[in-house]
Chain A
Amino acid sequence: MNCITSSCIISQGTVLKDGHQLFEKKGIDASAFLLSVYQHFGLNYPKFYKMDNLSKLGWLASEILLKDTFEKENYQSEQVGLILANQNSSLDNDIKYFDTLKYIASPSLFVYTLPNIVMGEICIRNNFKGEHAFYIQDQFDPGFIETQVNYLLDNDILDACICGWVDILQEKYKAVLFLVEKQQGKDAVRFSAENMDEIFNKA
């Protein structure tokens, strides 16, 4: 049975892991909040500062999702992958890149004008080399995610998969990530569209 062995939500000033609130800071803008999450959790990864806000959001959620939960040594790098989706692609950063065209185009912003870069950042950090895909949806579609992830796990293309939603546009942001593994951990929840939907709607 495929199970959700961990979940992490970062949304509008709040961080939750497995349903428990770990951090809250209201009244600051998205960029400042993402930095405060990085500092609060004592993360040390200089590449973080170069990322756009979509990558920061997804990367932070993946760090908190995996910390003290994911036993990386149990997996080969090709057997861990990602299936993510969002509504606004990379538009948050696209607008910032476009603004630089008035002066001089910024290659360091241009590279983040693709939604899948957040997965590249998570893969680089963790040396995950397995299958990954980024889909655009007008709202979170847990049924579709369930189908995709089950295909990968049930056909032994992956042994573990991070899936979910990472969306940001200016001051509106929400990341909900699920770690899905074949074996059941002590707090495991059955991997299903209903269970993802329930967790998604907690924030």
Chain B
Amino acid sequence: MSGRDVFVVADNVFTPLGKTTAENFENLKQGISAVKEHSDRSISPQPFYAALFDKDEASLKDKPYTKFEALLIASIGDALRQANVEASDSKTVLIISSTKGNISLLETEKYNQELKERIALPASAKLVADHFGFVNPPIIVSNACVSGVMAIITGMRLLRTGQYENAVIAGAEVISEFILSGFQSFQALSPHMCKPFDKDRDGLNLGEGAGTIILSTNTKYSGNIRVLGGGISNDANHISGPSRTGEELSFAINQALKDAVLSANAIDFISAHGTATVYNDEMEANAVALSGLAAVPLNSLKANYGHTLGAAGLIESVISVRSLQENTILPTLGFEENGVTRPVNVVKSALNTKTRNFLKTASGFGGCNATVVFGK
């Protein structure tokens, strides 16, 4: 890598499992899942399993904001309260990550010019930026399910080069009929809580949530966890199916390690994408093995949270940062027996062990792969 060191200053995870990172982490350690069966005919004619907020969740009804924006505001607000970082500082940038943002408005509002502008992600980003008083124009990443990891990598680089001193990086996703029907049409959803890397895995669950991480190059944080490197690649194979070999995700992992100036044996655990679809987990296991990481403890939080799409990279990175701080590698709920051709070391129950560095991976539609490395 080149440039300044980038430190983690504060964070938040806001999900159906809790409103703070600490609350979420405690529930994850106990193996609690937010995934349950829902019968909500307003979003699906059939019952489905997903991790959704309670419909009465007051903090997400913060008018005039939409649920998506209220979710971002709740998450960013909690992270900013812990940090000594000013949103209005000209050295601070806001980065937002989401796949579909306000798309649910198509379901409830009349389509016209005004709605078109309201759905566009820049409208939400501006409202959120104005709410906190950010002065720089927000950056928006929308790159399928790697958006969250990509947003962290984008922020890390803007800080390394000195363009900004602080980055507030937040991702959020709301599940509505639009997204749910699409995954149903793909027959990608599991009819129960998902089982990452398991021999009986049969699809994913969707989930709602937000995550925020605040990064800074200010050396007063030099004792904190650091973002060490990132890598991104494309499969160039298929727009809706992953690579058959995993070589491209492996390339992204190797790029991230190179950027972090770490060898594979310095990685103490992997926070996998682990969606529990047959093809994703198989590809991911191949990639992990190709990068020489097959023996490294690995987890997936998808049975706890469902797949939170554009928020997943942030939520799972923040939780894993907490794992580093507490030297506790979280278990993979839903996993019982290895179900991938090249076995990986899936963590079944919480591991208390000294940890230095972890790797977070993500892959998504469009053949995208992204990896980020954090360390002490």
User: A-side interface residues toward B, CB under 8 Å?
Assistant: 77-78, 81, 87-89, 91, 94-95, 97-98, 101, 104-107, 110-111, 113-117, 119-121, 123-124, 126-138, 141, 144, 147-148, 151, 155, 157, 169
Contact A124 B240 (CB under 8 A): no
Q: B131 an interface residue at 8 Å Cβ cutoff?
A: no
Chain A residues with CB under 8 A of B125: 136
Which B residue sits closest to A47, measured CB to CB?
B239
Contact A101 B141 (CB under 8 A): no
Contact A107 B367 (CB under 8 A): no
Contact A120 B365 (CB under 8 A): yes
5 contacts between A and B (CB under 8 A): A111-B239, A119-B366, A121-B239, A124-B236, A124-B237
Contact B234 A111 (CB under 8 A): no
Task: Choose from A87, A107, A114, A151 the contact partner of B120 (Cβ within 8 Å).
Answer: A87
Binds A, one of B99-107, B286-294, B341-349: B99-107
Q: B322 an interface residue at 8 Å Cβ cutoff?
A: no
- Output the least CB separation between B237 and chain A (Å): 7
Q: B374 an interface residue at 8 Å Cβ cutoff?
A: no
B window 230-253: CB within 8 A of A: 231-240, 248, 251
Contact A124 B238 (CB under 8 A): yes
A81 to B234, CA, bound (A): 9
Q: B263 an interface residue at 8 Å Cβ cutoff?
A: no
A144 to B239, CA, bound (A): 27
A113 to B150, CA, bound (A): 19
Q: A89-B121, A111-B239, A113-B100 are in contact. List 10 more A-B contacts (CB 8 A).
A: A78-B233, A87-B122, A88-B116, A89-B101, A124-B236, A132-B232, A133-B141, A135-B142, A138-B120, A169-B116
Contact B122 A137 (CB under 8 A): yes
Task: Choose from A104, A116, A120, A141 the contact partner of B142 (Cβ within 8 Å).
Answer: A116
A99 to B320, CA, bound (A): 40
Contact A107 B121 (CB under 8 A): no
Contact A116 B143 (CB under 8 A): yes
Main secondary structure of the interface of B (DSSP, over half): mixed
Contact B240 A111 (CB under 8 A): yes
A148 to B185, CA, bound (A): 36
Q: A129-B251, A135-B139 are in contact. Are A113 and B234 (CB under 8 A)?
A: no
Contact A131 B233 (CB under 8 A): yes
- Output the least CB separation between B254 and chain A (Å): 10
Shortest 7 CB-CB contacts between residues of A and residues of B: A120-B366, A110-B182, A138-B122, A105-B185, A136-B140, A107-B185, A131-B232
Task: Choose from A98, A130, A132, A136 the contact partner of B106 (Cβ within 8 Å).
Answer: A98
Which B residue sits closest to A110, measured CB to CB?
B182
Contact B185 A151 (CB under 8 A): no
Q: B59 an interface residue at 8 Å Cβ cutoff?
A: no
- Output the least CB separation between A198 and chain B (Å): 21
Q: A91-B119, A138-B120 are in contact. Are A97 and B182 (CB under 8 A)?
A: yes
Chain B residues with CB under 8 A of A98: 106-107, 178
User: B-side interface residues toward A, CB under 8 Å?
Assistant: 2, 99-101, 103, 106-107, 111, 116, 119-122, 125-126, 137, 139-144, 150, 154, 157-158, 161, 163, 177-178, 181-182, 184-186, 231-240, 248, 251, 255, 364-368
Q: A115-B142, A116-B142 are in contact. Are A105 and B182 (CB under 8 A)?
A: yes
Contact A95 B106 (CB under 8 A): yes
A157 to B232, CA, bound (A): 10
Contact B116 A106 (CB under 8 A): no
A58 to B141, CA, bound (A): 18
Contact A120 B368 (CB under 8 A): yes
- Output the least CB separation between B268 and chain A (Å): 26
- Output the least CB separation between B10 and chain A (Å): 24
Chain A residues with CB under 8 A of B161: 147, 151
Q: A78-B233, A116-B368 are in contact. Are A107 and B140 (CB under 8 A)?
A: no
- Output the least CB separation between A27 and chain B (Å): 23
Q: A94-B103, A98-B178, A138-B120 are in contact. Are A114 and B236 (CB under 8 A)?
A: no
Contact B186 A107 (CB under 8 A): yes
Q: A110-B186, A138-B120 are in contact. Are A101 and B177 (CB under 8 A)?
A: yes
Which B residue sits closest to A155, measured CB to CB?
B2
Chain B residues with CB under 8 A of A106: 185
A95 to B154, CA, bound (A): 29
Chain B residues with CB under 8 A of A130: 233-234
A75 to B111, CA, bound (A): 46
Contact B240 A144 (CB under 8 A): no
Contact A129 B235 (CB under 8 A): yes
Which B residue sits closest to A106, measured CB to CB?
B185
Task: Choose from A95, A119, A155 the contact partner of B234 (Cβ within 8 Å).
Answer: A119
Contact A144 B139 (CB under 8 A): yes
- Output the least CB separation between A110 and chain B (Å): 4
Contact A116 B116 (CB under 8 A): no
- Output the least CB separation between A96 and chain B (Å): 11
A119 to B366, CA, bound (A): 7
Which B residue sits closest to A88, measured CB to CB?
B120
Chain B residues with CB under 8 A of A77: 236
